[in-house]
Every structure is written in structure tokens, then in C-alpha cells.
Amino acid sequence: MARILYDLCGADQRLRFSPFCWRAHMALRHKGLDYEARPWLFTDKDEIAFSVEGDGSKATVPVLVDDDDRVINDSFEILRYLDHAYPDTPLLDQDRAESRARFIKYWSETQVAPAIFRIIILDIFRNLDERDQPYFRESREQRFGVTLEEFHNPDQGREMLDRALTPLRSHLQELPFLDGQTAGGADYIAFGIFMTARVMRGEPLLSGEDVVGQWQDRLLDEFHGFARSATTVRELQAN
Amino acid sequence: MARILYDLCGADQRLRFSPFCWRAHMALRHKGLDYEARPWLFTDKDEIAFSVEGDGSKATVPVLVDDDDRVINDSFEILRYLDHAYPDTPLLDQDRAESRARFIKYWSETQVAPAIFRIIILDIFRNLDERDQPYFRESREQRFGVTLEEFHNPDQGREMLDRALTPLRSHLQELPFLDGQTAGGADYIAFGIFMTARVMRGEPLLSGEDVVGQWQDRLLDEFHGFARSATTVRELQAN
């Protein structure tokens, strides 16, 4: 049985930096499922065109191919699919639990990620495959309305991040995970963007004194240190 | 069997404006439970001193007295208690669902409420019982570090609110409630502060075109329009 996760990579194929793919990685590990993490570039649209309708130009990762013929895209839909297909060890649960995880997804994407991107956007760009750099620059500059260099604003990003993380800090004073005593889907959803920073930045984004940094550490240690062992630009610079 | 909810009120006893008490009101209605909403002033600490340890100076509402002798304070603990004591029609659910609702509580309290207070702080102050005004001014000015008049900043509040509500707007494009297809504990937790604005402001905070305003409208209509029928300063001005 083939299970393939199409997984965005950088100039070095070992750099896996998509926050959305990281949600899928953690979810698959949570379920104890084996899979091939197939490297994919932004410019490899044709390779995953099968995952969307139309001409494939909107295709993006993560894409999960399960059992050779079940195709799921979108990280939240992948987590939902995994809960339906492999009901043991739930990720999202159902109904209101799932709905609240969806809110946490939107909180992460609209409050946390924009802050982190202002800190790491040039780190990402520099470590992309050169075939992806023009596409990344053009698409992101259109989205931002400014150049990557103008968008890059670590001071503003830090201030935004500090404000955005306030509810998570309050939560983590009470509980070790967003999902309570053990890690679950809501944690993986929020964690993805922190892996982007870890992989592409070369230095830690959060300190060990920060309760969010400690939460990140707990997630890095999950599944026998799976995420902690992921290649980062720091290892590549050292070699 | 006596069930009493101690409920903060304003200069007119019909003005019930505490966001935390409103979470409890909606939760009790959700469970279909009858209760007396006993009016309480900030300066009535002695009356609810039984609900805390020590000298009672830290006592605050909501306080729920159930079955004459079970005493619960803190709105989130009241919702948890109601789920344990009356398991039908869950509010929070358990485990990860409850944990995610706790995160939504912190999001509401650290991101939404500070924005709304900058818009309505003087509306609240003006409509307090005169016995509560000195206490409210002193305690809030100590907390804010500035006077109420300096804290009052509707333009800044609007900007903060617009930013804070982004994840909720995204969520409500997909689902009618934070808890999915029907309202639940996460909705009531987030809704409380909007009732504060509605009761004390005299004019709507959100327009009907705003998906968040539409969500608010759905919650105002719950339980046969229970929250919509709550007295606001507008009715008192008209009379």
C-alpha cells in the first residue's frame, strides 16, 4: 500500500519547511502511519495537478495519497481524513472539538504566521531552490503589495508575534498542550509555522524561558524526536 | 432546590453587563435550567465572600450556588461544573474539546476584550451604580496605568478589534458557530463581552453586514431571544 505525502522542499531536498506540510507530518506520526515524504517544489505544479480540478495551476502541498487512490489536499482536510480513515488516536475529534480546532487554525494563520513571516521571509527566500525563487518572489510580492525586502521587518514581526501569542501563553500556564494533557490536532496545526522558522532560520525563534518555546520543545520531542531531527539550514551551513 | 447566579448590575438593577456572567447565563439556558439572577454590585463583596477563601476581598461574580450548597465561581469553572452535574446537551465536552475552549477563552480575554473596552469603558463607567464608580475607577486605573479617560480610545479600539476578530471572521465564513453547526460553550465564552457592549453602549458595536455581527444576532436569538430581550441603556434612555 502506497502512502505518499507531497512535501515542499528547499534548495537542499532535505529542507522541509512548509507549515501546512508539517501539520500533516505530525498528524501521520500521531496515527503511527508510515509514508513517503516526497520532495516537491512550488514549480512542480504538474506533478500534483491530479490533486485539484482544472488545469492544476492552483495545486499545492500538502497532498496525501493514501492506499494508492485516495487523494486529499489541504492540511485540515488531511487531518479530518486521517481521523475518519484511522479512528484510533484522534487528532481533531468531531463536531464542536473539530470546529474549535478550525478556529485555532485560523488564529494561527491570521495572527501568528504573518508575524513570523515578517521575521523569516528572507531566510525562506534564500534557502529556496533557485527554480522556485522567481515564483515565490512574484506570488508573495503580489500578495503583500510590497517587495520581500520591504515586507522583511523583524522588529515589527517580533512585536506582532508577542501580541499574537498572548492567548497561547495564558493557555500554556494551565496546560502543557493546546489539546490538554497530551498533544493533538490543535497543537500540530499551530506548530507547523514554528517548524518553518526552525528549518529555514538557522537560529531559534523562541527562547527556552518562553512557555511557548517550552511547548515547542515538547512537540519537537514527540514521536522519538521526529521534528527535532528534521534537517535545518544550520546543519547545512555546518557541513 | 435553589439555584442562584450572582450577577453584576449597573445603576439600574436591570442592566446586567458582566461578560463573565453572560457566559454563565447562556450556559444555564443551554442546559435548560431555571435560576435566580441575583443582582450584585462590585462593592457587595461581603455578600459573596462565602465563594472564596480568605477575607472575601477577591470575591467576584459570576458565582453559581446550585442545590443550596454547591458553590462555583469563575465562568469557565461554572461551565465545567454544569457539564459534570447536567451531562445532557454538553457545553465544553471533555479533554481536548474542553482544552480548545479554554484557548478560545484566553483569545477572547486577551485579544477581543481589551479592544472592546477601549471603545466602551466610559459607557460602562457612566452606567454603574454610583456606589461602584470609585471602586471601578481606582481598580481599573491601577490595572491600565492610565485614567479611564486616557484609556478611552475608540479609534484604537476599533483597529484592535478589527485585527483581533480576523480568525473569527474566517471561521464564520465556514461555519455558523465557533462550536460548529449549533451554538455551544465556545460561543458563549466569546459572546459575553459583546453583551457587555450591547447592554452598556446604547448603539450596536457591529453592523449586520459583519459576519461577526450576524453570529452575534444568532446568539441573541437563542433560547427564544433571551439575550436580545436583556435590558440595555437604550431602553432606559427611552423611558
Condensed to tens digits (0 to 9), the pLDDT of residues A59-68 reads 899 999 999 8
For the stretch A146-188, pLDDT in tens is: 999 999 999 999 999 999 999 999 999 999 999 999 999 999 9
Q: Which residue has the cell 480546532?
A: A101
For the stretch A67-103, pLDDT in tens is: 988 999 999 999 999 999 999 999 999 899 999 999 9
pLDDT at A158: 97
3-state secondary structure (DSSP) of residue A46: helix
Q: What are the distances in angstroms from CA B14 to CA B3, B38, B70, B154, B229?
A: 19, 10, 26, 26, 11
Per-residue confidence band for B137, with pLDDT thresholds at 50, 70 and 90: very high
* Percentages of chain B per state (helix, strand, coil), in multiples of 5: 55, 10, 35
Q: Among partner residues A93, A110, A174, which is closest to B97 by beta-carbon distance?
A: A93
The pTM is what?
0.96
Residue A111 DSSP label? I
Closest-CA residue to B40 (of B48, B29, B52, B31) = B48
Per-residue cell: B59: 470575591
3-state secondary structure (DSSP) of residue A18: coil
H helix intervals, A4-112: 19-30, 75-85, 95-107
User: Is the pLDDT reported for residue B51 higher than 80?
Assistant: yes
- Chain A interface test: which of B95, B96, B171 (most A C-beta within 10 Å): B96
CATH 1.20.1050.10 range(s) for chain B read 95-238
Mean model confidence pLDDT for chain B = 95
What is the least distance, in Å, from the CA of A147 to any CA of chain B? 23
Which residues in A lie closer than 8 A to residue B99 (C-beta atoms)? 171, 175, 177-180, 186
pLDDT at B201: 95
Bridge partners (DSSP) of residue B112 are none
**How large a percentage of chain B has pLDDT more than 90?**
88
CB of B11 closer than 8 Å to CB of B64? no
User: Is the pLDDT reported for residue A3 higher than 90?
Assistant: yes
Q: What residues contact A207, with CB distance under 8 A and at least 6 apart?
A: A213
Pairing relation of β-strands A70-73 and A63-66?
antiparallel
Chain-chain contact of A99 with B168 (C-beta, under 8 angstroms): no
Residue type at A172? L
Mean model confidence pLDDT for chain A = 95
What DSSP element (H or E) covers A195? Answer: helix A185-201
- Interface size, chain A vs chain B, as Cβ–Cβ contacts under 8 Å: 101
Go through B175-204 and write b for each residue having 16 or more CB atoms within 10 A of its CB, e for each that does not: ebbbbbeebbbbbbbbbbbbbbbbbbbbee
Per-residue confidence band for A107, with pLDDT thresholds at 50, 70 and 90: very high
pLDDT at B238: 75
Which residues in A lie closer than 8 A to residue B106 (C-beta atoms)? 166-168, 170-171
Which residue has better confidence, A237 or A205? A205
pLDDT at B239: 65
Which residues in B lie closer than 8 A to residue A109 (C-beta atoms)? 167, 170
Instruction: Please name the fold of domain A4-85.
Output: Glutaredoxin (3.40.30)
Instruction: Count other Cβ atoms within 10 Å, centred on residue B8.
Output: 24
For the domain made up of B95-238, the CATH class stated in words is mainly alpha
pLDDT at B1: 64
pLDDT at A1: 65
Closest-CA residue to A27 (of A179, A208, A201) = A179
CATH 3.40.30.10 range(s) for chain A read 4-85
**In the sheet that B3-8 helps form, which strands lie side by side, from edge to edge?**
B36-40, B3-8, B63-66, B70-73
Per-residue cell: A33: 502511519
Q: Among partner residues A95, A167, A186, which is closest to B107 by beta-carbon distance?
A: A167
Q: Does A107 touch chain B (CB under 8 A)?
A: yes
What DSSP element (H or E) covers B138? Answer: helix B133-144
> Left (φ > 0), alpha (ψ -120 to 50) or beta: where does A224 sit?
left
Per-residue confidence band for B237, with pLDDT thresholds at 50, 70 and 90: confident
pLDDT at A21: 98
Q: Does A141 touch chain B (CB under 8 A)?
A: no
Q: Does A99 touch chain B (CB under 8 A)?
A: yes
User: Is the pLDDT reported for residue B59 higher than 80?
Assistant: yes
Q: Among partner residues B96, B104, B174, which is closest to A180 by beta-carbon distance?
A: B96
For the stretch B149-202, pLDDT in tens is: 999 999 999 999 999 999 999 999 999 999 999 999 999 999 999 999 999 998
Q: What are the distances in angstroms from CA B176 to CA A109, A127, B198?
A: 20, 41, 20
pLDDT at B69: 87
For the stretch B68-81, pLDDT in tens is: 889 999 999 999 99
The beta strand positions in B9-123, using DSSP E, are 36-40, 63-66, 70-73
Chain-chain contact of A106 with B175 (C-beta, under 8 angstroms): no
Q: Does B104 touch chain A (CB under 8 A)?
A: yes
